[in-house]
Homo-oligomer: A and B are copies of this chain.
């Protein structure tokens, strides 16, 4: 572990690394694509939190969204898997090396259409992974067909109207016991950065469903996943702040206005009350809220649900602290005596 250097110039983070260390290759997405916005917020969050790049492992499926891991934290290993099956690959990698900080990026097609099965089982296992859905309601990379998160009545550019109800990945996540569930909007960096930081600090799966308009295929009138629609219909649950474990919390706010949520590594998420009181620790309340918002066509954003106590899959498996990947032979090959004992058993 690199230790924190307190005497750094202001342009570096606590590890002494400049923001550029958290950038990747230039994006090849369409100019204005929501996904590029999310990439920037990921860069910012990891920079500000101060995660060592080599400890990060990036995963994705296939799609415009799934290309983005090449565009952030270039000095970390990345894996662009096959369409819809990123969860399995990420699961395997996180089991092989539990010390990695896993970030998965996926699209709504990648997650909710072809990938919904693996997504559900990832959530059920509570694999330690930040899972970001860059949700634009269409298949960008194959030129604009509806995905399973397209809203009823939303229109394709060619006039085709979607008749099938959308899958709400946050609802699924909450129902399946995911312990960190947030919804956000690519056009709202102020909210997205602390949510990603919280996800870094979280243990278990952290799901971020981020509305991320496709400017080429789904940003027109009639789309409910356009920048315009999202901006007009965004309803922030709370104002979000993040205080990392290495910073002092300062209680400079009036009683009741702010809710502090302590995360697993000792960091805090600070939810500042807006119009309503919202406690992200109640499943039924969270579900009710989302349902109502969906009915009203509101884009409700913020930390929807959080459960600090949930065990993750590493706990379930009672795994060693060291990465399995690099255990020495002495730890992974039982002794001669063991084999003799086994041979005896079968003789």
A287 at the interface (CB under 8 A from B): yes
In the complex, the answer to whether B316 meets A163 with C-beta atoms within 8 Å is yes
User: Which chain A residues (154-190) contact chain B, with CB distance < 8 Å?
Assistant: 163-165, 167-168, 171-172, 175-177
Q: Which residue of B lies closest to A283 (CB)?
A: B291
Size bin of chain A's contact surface:
20 to 34
In the complex, the answer to whether B116 meets A121 with C-beta atoms within 8 Å is yes
A233 at the interface (CB under 8 A from B): no
A289-326 vs B: 1/0 string, CB under 8 Å?
00100000000000000000001000010000000000
A168 contacts across to B, CB distance below 8 A:
175
Number of copies: 2
Q: For the complex formed, measure the closest distance between the CB of A8 and the CB atoms of chain B, giving whole angstroms.
A: 43
A4-18 vs B: 1/0 string, CB under 8 Å?
000000000000000
A residues with a Cβ closer than 8 A to B are 113-118, 120-121, 124-125, 148, 163-165, 167-168, 171-172, 175-177, 283-284, 287-288, 291, 311, 316
Cα-based distance from A283 to B316 in the complex (angstroms) = 33
Cα-based distance from A124 to B148 in the complex (angstroms) = 9
User: Interface centre among A113, A115, A124, by most B CB within 10 Å?
Assistant: A124
Q: For the complex formed, measure the closest distance between the CB of A282 and the CB atoms of chain B, giving whole angstroms.
A: 11
Q: For the complex formed, measure the closest distance between the CB of A66 and the CB atoms of chain B, giving whole angstroms.
A: 18
Q: A116-B121, A284-B291 are in contact. Are A165 and B177 (CB under 8 A)?
A: yes
Q: For the complex formed, measure the closest distance between the CB of A271 and the CB atoms of chain B, giving whole angstroms.
A: 24
In the complex, the answer to whether A167 meets B176 with C-beta atoms within 8 Å is yes
Cα-based distance from A172 to B116 in the complex (angstroms) = 12
Cα-based distance from A311 to B177 in the complex (angstroms) = 30
